[in-house]
Amino acid sequence: MLKKIMLVIGAVVILGLVVESLTAQPEPRGGDFGGRRGGGRGFSASPQQNPPTAVNEEEKKILSVLDEMDRNQRGGNMNVPMEDGRILRLLTEAIGAKHVVEIGTSNGYSGIWFCLALRATGGKLTTHDIDEGRAAMARENFKRAGVDNIITLVMGDAHETVKNIKEPIDVLFIDADKPGYIDYLQKLLPLVRPGGLILGHNVNMGSQMQDYIKAITTDANLETVFQGQGQDLSVTLKKRLSK
Ligand SMILES: C[S@@+](CC[C@H](N)C(=O)[O-])C[C@H]1O[C@@H](n2cnc3c(N)ncnc32)[C@H](O)[C@@H]1O
């Protein structure tokens, strides 16, 4: 009798596990909130997760391109999570940036977030990549979003191509080869205007980031905090000279 009861209990537990696995919802992909975090689906778990709202038709078009990229182009393109894209846009617009320099264009996802801000500030984006395949996607995405007129895409090894930048930089965004962050910082920090920002993505990637982290957290001329979905977006202010 006891054996029969144990068998029945076992069967019920197994059935429960099978039903749970069949009805479970998949986790959101790769750290992105992917528009599914309230992304235009008419549902969000909390007000903090509501998606950005468009102020006009142009913004609506840009946001719809970002949402489409979020859903269909993430694979292999290593894009920032949507939440981090929103931070990039907000910081850029808040400081009234006129010139954003991005290292690591990929398919243009983060670049388009910058452009949401740059349309409002009357600014422009100079973005760098070495991979022609991703750059071709970026060109197409910039065009679809209607922001190609404020973007210059520079092809080649950015450790070399950034040497051609002569204009002041309001926001420098580094999101490329991780051991290279320190080199990009050293080459471009002199061009960042006082009051400008240096943003680094994925800076929690272990030993290869230590020299960069040290540089942005120990220089008295810089003030750094860590933000973003994974707290791995470094936000560094180049301090204004006190009078
Ligand atoms: C993480 S992805 C950039 C993602 C992009 N910022 C976004 O969020 O949409 C890194 C990009 O850096 C580029 N990259 C890597 N090393 C580079 C180098 N030395 N010069 C220029 N681009 C480089 C890669 O080709 C890749 O497209």
Q: Which two tokens stand for residue 133?
A: 């395949």
> Is 140 a member of any domain?
yes
The confidence band for 47, taking pLDDT boundaries of 50, 70 and 90, is: confident
Tell me, yes or no, whether 214 lies in a domain.
Answer: yes
- In the chain, how many H helices and how many E strands? 8, 7
Pair of tokens at residue 219: 């220089």
pLDDT digits (tens, 9 = 90+) for 53-98: 999 999 999 999 999 999 999 999 999 999 999 999 999 999 999 9
CA angle 160, 165, 171 (to 5 degrees): 110
**Which atom of ligand 1 is least distant from the CA of 111?**
9
User: Domain tally for the chain?
Assistant: 1
Which amino acid is present at 76? G
Q: Judge whether 28 lies within some domain.
A: no
The range of the structural domain enclosing residue 90 comes to 81-238
Q: Is 139 in the pocket of ligand 1 (CB under 6 A)?
A: no
> How far, in Å, from the CA of 158 to the mean position of ligand 1?
9
pLDDT of residue 189: 98
Provide the CATH number for the domain around residue 130: 3.40.50.150
Q: Which amino acid is at 57?
A: E
For 122-177, write each residue's pLDDT tens digit: 999 999 999 999 999 999 999 999 999 999 999 999 999 999 999 999 999 999 99
pTM: 0.84
32 lines ligand 1 (CB under 6 A): no
Region for residue 206 given its phi and psi (left: phi exceeds 0; alpha: psi -120 to 50; beta: otherwise): left
Any ligand 1 atom below 6 A from CB of 202: no
Give CA–CA dist 113/155, Å, rounded.
Answer: 20
Question: Does any domain span residue 44?
Answer: no
Cα three-residue angle 199-202-207, rounded to 5 degrees: 115
The pLDDT tens digits of the residues spanning 10-34 come to 555 554 444 444 444 333 333 333 3
| For ligand 1, atom 19: residue with the closest CA | 157
Using a 6 Å cutoff on CB, does residue 130 contact ligand 1?
A: yes
Q: Can you give the pLDDT at residue 49?
A: 81
Domain contains 50: no
35 domain residue, yes or no = no
Residue 42 pLDDT class (50, 70, 90 cuts): very low
Q: Is position 108 within any domain?
A: yes
Q: Which element (helix H / strand E) includes 127?
A: strand 124-129
In a domain, 119, yes or no: yes
- Per-residue burial over 183-205, b = 16 or more CB atoms within 10 Å of its CB, e = otherwise: bbbeebbebbbeebbbbbbbbee
